[in-house]
Chains A and B, each alone.
Chain A
Amino acid sequence: MVKFTEQERDIVRAVWEKVDVDEVGPEALIRVLITYPWTERYFGIFGDLFSISAVSTNAKLAEHGKVVLRSLGRAVEDMDNIKNAYAELSRLHCEKIHVDPDNFRLLADCITITIACKLKSTFNSNVQATWQKFLTAVVEAMTSQYN
Chain B
Amino acid sequence: MVVWTESELSIINSIFDSLDYEDIGPKALSRCLIVYPWTQRYFGGFGNLYNAAAIKSNPNIAAHGIKILHGLDRAVKNMDSIKETYAELSTLHSEKLHVDPDNFTLLGNCLTIEIAAKLGDGFTAETQGTFQKFLAVVVNALGKQYH
Contact = CB atoms under 8 A, between A and B. Distances in A.
Contacts of A120: 117-118, 120
Task: Place the interface of chain A in its size category.
Answer: 20 to 34
A2 interface: no
Given A128-B113, A129-B35, A113 B52 contact: no
B116 interface: yes
Interface string B11-37: 000000000000000000011001100
Contacts of B63: none
B35 A113 contact: no
A91 B30 CA distance: 38
Interface in B128-147: 128-129, 132
B interface, size bucket: 20 to 34
Contact of A113 (B31, B116, B126): B116
B121 interface: yes
Nearest to A109: B109
B112 interface: yes
A31 B112 CA distance: 13
Nearest to A110: B128
B123 interface: yes
B125 interface: yes
A123 interface: yes
A30 interface: yes
Contacts of B129: 31, 34-35
Contact of A126 (B52, B125, B126): B52
B34 A113 contact: no
Interface in B79-136: 109, 112-113, 116-121, 123, 125-126, 128-129, 132
B125 A52 contact: yes
A119 to B, nearest CB: 7
A75 to B, nearest CB: 20
Nearest to B37: A129
A117 B123 contact: yes
A125 interface: yes
Contacts of A128: 31, 35, 113
Interface of B: 30-31, 34-35, 52, 56, 109, 112-113, 116-121, 123, 125-126, 128-129, 132
Interface of A: 27, 30-31, 34-35, 52, 55-56, 109-110, 112-113, 116-121, 123, 125-126, 128-129, 132
